[in-house]
Amino acid sequence: MEQTTGRNHINRNKLNHLANDRVCKIVGCNNDFRINRTSGFCDNHEFHEHDLYLELHDPAGTLVNAPAHKDIIDALIEWSSTRNFGLLPFFSSLSFNSLGNVPDVSTLAGKVVHPGITVPTIGSIYDSLIEVINNYFPVNNNSSYQPLKTPRGEIPAIVLAYTFAGLLICEEANRGDRWFCRMVRKEEAKTTQLGAAMPIAYFATRIFPWGVEMNKSARNLTR
């Protein structure tokens, strides 16, 4: 995963939630803003300057197009329905281990610092999700490597799961504010953004017993 410039999202963290400061919180910026502005950012810094995105390479090292959240979930659901393998505990575990554990991309990039707070590395976050995945898709079990059909070609189930974990980290970093609320504000209930909960909501919608046809309209949950 890399940080890059490009499609940047608004920084939803409220670094001036106590409304006691008026100097921009971006490292190196001394611009003022109105003291009652809770974001803590000047007019130039309302948006993240980076966007975390995932690159997928094949075993030869060639960059390949990664399937989207929706395509991965669809493939895993289809696969699980052919065997007695409930995906709910797996997605539940991914949710528990990703939501709120990924700092926003500006924090990851060191553009914002939070005194006294340890910022985890992307690598350590990813490793923790790999551990979750390996519990459900054991690396020494052949079925973990079963190739599943996606619009990007056939990809082994375990690779799809790893890719999905990477996408969750990107969503949480680019759009989430849960880590900031949990770790910095110490009030997770202040979280306003879904972040990585959005793709997981697509999974939840696909498996919920609605009683009506929902497969196509559930796409609206994947942007």
Strand residue runs (E) in 85-165: 147-150, 153-156
Strands 51-53 and 2-4: antiparallel
Q: Any contact of residue 200 with Zn ion (CB under 5 A)?
A: no
Binding mask 20-59 for Zn ion (x = CB under 5 A): ----x-x--x-x----------x-xx--------------
In this complex, which beta carbon is closest to Zn ion, that of residue 39 or of residue 191? 39
In this complex, which beta carbon is closest to Zn ion, that of residue 38 or of residue 44? 44
Count of residues that bind Zn ion according to CB under 5 A: 7
Q: Which helix (H) or strand (E) holds 218?
A: none
| Closest by Cα among 53, 27, 52 to 41 | 27
| Cβ(144)–Cβ(138) below 8 Å | yes
Quote the CA–CA distance of 156 and 93 in Å, as a whole number: 20
Residues 59-118 that bind Zn ion (CB under 5 A): none
Minimum Å distance from CB 26 to Zn ion?
4
| Cβ(162)–Cβ(133) below 8 Å | yes
Residues 141-180 that bind Zn ion (CB under 5 A): none
In this complex, which beta carbon is closest to Zn ion, that of residue 24 or of residue 99? 24
Quote the CA–CA distance of 15 and 176 in Å, as a whole number: 14
Minimum Å distance from CB 107 to Zn ion?
15
Minimum Å distance from CB 163 to Zn ion?
35
Contact residues: Zn ion, CB under 5 A: 24, 26, 29, 31, 42, 44-45
